[in-house]
Amino acid sequence: MDGERPTTLAVDAAASSDAEFVEAHMRRVFRLIYRVVGNVPDSQDLVQEAFIKAFKRRDQLKDPERAAQWLGRIAVNTALDFVRKRKRVVFEEIEKAPEQPQESPEQAVLRGEKRKYLEDGLRLLSERERAALILRDVEGLPAVEVAKQLDCSPATVRSHIANARVKFKKYMEGRRS
């Protein structure tokens, strides 16, 4: 009986540690995946898949200080694989954030129009361009880190970002005219 107790404590500690890890990273992983996939139900499924992959591969994590980047790479690759298999992205409205107390009806409409406008522009990009642009410009990661997450060279990342920005700029100019 005494031989089982340490094992049970170790399992309990590991489960607690895993739950804390998921809780600490859930929102960020969801945002990363949602921005690539574009709809809530698929994003929720892919978040679970990404965490399962991470836990199965936890022995590959060499530096615990870089767990967030490691998990981000798994999440982005999981989302990109999904999009490649599906061959298209369908954006769906994410549940609206609570409205600001001072937000007028006009401001709420403008916010919704802006979100739709941005999502329409993102649809024009390839999944790699979209992922690179979001990781660099929205998440604020340096190009070197984006390259690690997308498993390509920093030069390729810069190319994806430049192409995405050109496409997005043309989209914005077309909308204005």
Residue 117 and residue 80 share a domain: no
Of 90, 71, 85, which Cα lies nearest the Cα of 28? Answer: 71
Of 65, 38, 32, 36, which Cα lies nearest the Cα of 51? Answer: 32
Q: Which two tokens stand for residue 72?
A: 């981000």
Indicate whether 62 belongs to any domain.
yes
- Where residue 111 sits, what CATH number does that domain have? 1.10.10.10
* pTM above threshold 0.85: no
Residue 83 and residue 8 share a domain: yes
pLDDT tens-digit profile of 23-62?
Answer: 888 888 898 888 888 788 888 899 999 999 988 888 887 8
The structural domain count of the chain equals 2
Q: Provide the domain limits for residue 9.
A: 1-89
The Cα–Cα gap between 158 and 30 comes to 24
**Structure confidence at residue 156 as a pLDDT band (50, 70, 90):** very high
